[in-house]
Amino acid sequence: MVTIYCLQTLITEFNDLGGSRFFDPRTKQSFKYDCIRDEATAHGSWSEDSAAEPWRAALETLWTMYAREHYTNGVSAVFGSSSNGMITLTACVEGHQFQPKNFWYVF
């Protein structure tokens, strides 16, 4: 996950632009992500898929509320695209909380 302009977004296959560039659908920004430094640089503008955006934004509202309720330390994002009149929406959530007493023993 990467923080961009006080918002966090996820690094996934669904927002991969190639060449280590990703986009944040909320802020309409693209950025280059350095996984070694865990750093986002070279910010630029990004244009959403105009056919999918109204649907993506509506699901984003609901998905964000759900994620905040069930993943208090989590980050969520919704990605949308369209092709041949079909709209695809992908809702992602990343949530973890360190629980030192909740682990598996491997023998």
10-60 pLDDT, tens per residue?
999 999 999 999 999 999 999 999 888 888 888 888 888 899 999 999 999
68-95 pLDDT, tens per residue?
898 888 889 999 999 999 999 999 999 8
Band the pLDDT of 5: cuts 50, 70, 90: very low
- pLDDT score at 73: 83
Which residues make Cβ contacts (< 8 Å) with residue 62, sequence separation at least 6? none
Q: How far apart are the first and last CA of the chain?
A: 32
**Global model pTM greater than 0.75:** yes
Q: Which helix (H) or strand (E) holds 80?
A: strand 75-83
- pLDDT score at 106: 60
How large is the greatest C-alpha to C-alpha distance in the chain, in angstroms? Answer: 53
Q: Which domains does the chain have, with CATH numbers?
A: 2-94 (3.30.1140)
